[in-house]
Amino acid sequence: SQQGEEDPQALSIQEGENATMNCSYKTSINNLQWYRQNSGRGLVHLILIRSNEREKHSGRLRVTLDTSKKSSSLLITASRAADTASYFCATVKAAGNKLTFGGGTRVLVKP
Amino acid sequence: SQTIHQWPATLVQPVGSPLSLECTVEGTSNPNLYWYRQAAGRGLQLLFYSVGIGQISSEVPQNLSASRPQDRQFILSSKKLLLSDSGFYLCAWGLAGAETQYFGPGTRLLVL
């Protein structure tokens, strides 16, 4: 069963706008990760945030984690057409354990 | 640097035929290896993972099996494919004790 559920399922924005997507999960976690998947390709790791962290940045990406609400958000600032992809959150319940993926958010950035 | 290969990229097979998908990793030793399946427009479902040669853990009972004959080789097999086996199969590796995984390009399987 899926641990994480992304919201929205699909998002369409103009180039230059910000894109925000959310992930909710059900059980306690060790860390949460975000991955990107371009159409028909493998997944690429974007960022990992641990349960004792609240916010993390990587380039134009900003991830927040609220363990009290069991939720995380991924913000892509100043989006580009190349950001068009599906974005997945994945949770790890215990250190070194397996990833459990959500259903993903499909993001379309229009030029 | 590490790389992960999967082949074939695309496969069309009749129902009842056997299956063998191969995944190999270069540039690392004793990786954890994973097989996932992704249905169209959906998330990833973990099928099998392996922490060493000959060590396979199955996550979902199904028509598939996995083997790890060498340290950096992971094979997904079936004796008789079902229509429901269609999907996008992804192999991934990760360092033991680390949570980040690195994915191959995937194999798209269509069972007719």
Q: Is A43 on the interface with B (CB under 8 A)?
A: yes
Q: Is A48 on the interface with B (CB under 8 A)?
A: yes
pLDDT, averaged across chain A: 93
Mean pLDDT of A62-73: 97
Quick: pLDDT tens for B57-105.
998 878 899 999 999 999 999 999 999 999 999 999 999 878 899 999 9
A31, A44, A96 ranked by CB distance to B97: nearest = A96
Q: Phi/psi zone of residue B14: left (φ > 0), alpha (ψ -120 to 50 degrees), beta?
A: beta
Please, which pLDDT band fits residue A94 given cuts at 50, 70 and 90? confident
Q: How far is B26 from chain A (nearest CA, A)?
A: 17
How far is it, in rounded angstroms, from Cα A40 to Cα B40? 10
pLDDT, averaged across chain B: 93
Q: How far is B98 from chain A (nearest CA, A)?
A: 5
Burial of B29 (C-beta count, 10 Å sphere; 0-12/13-18/19+):
exposed
8 Å CB contact of A43 and B103: yes
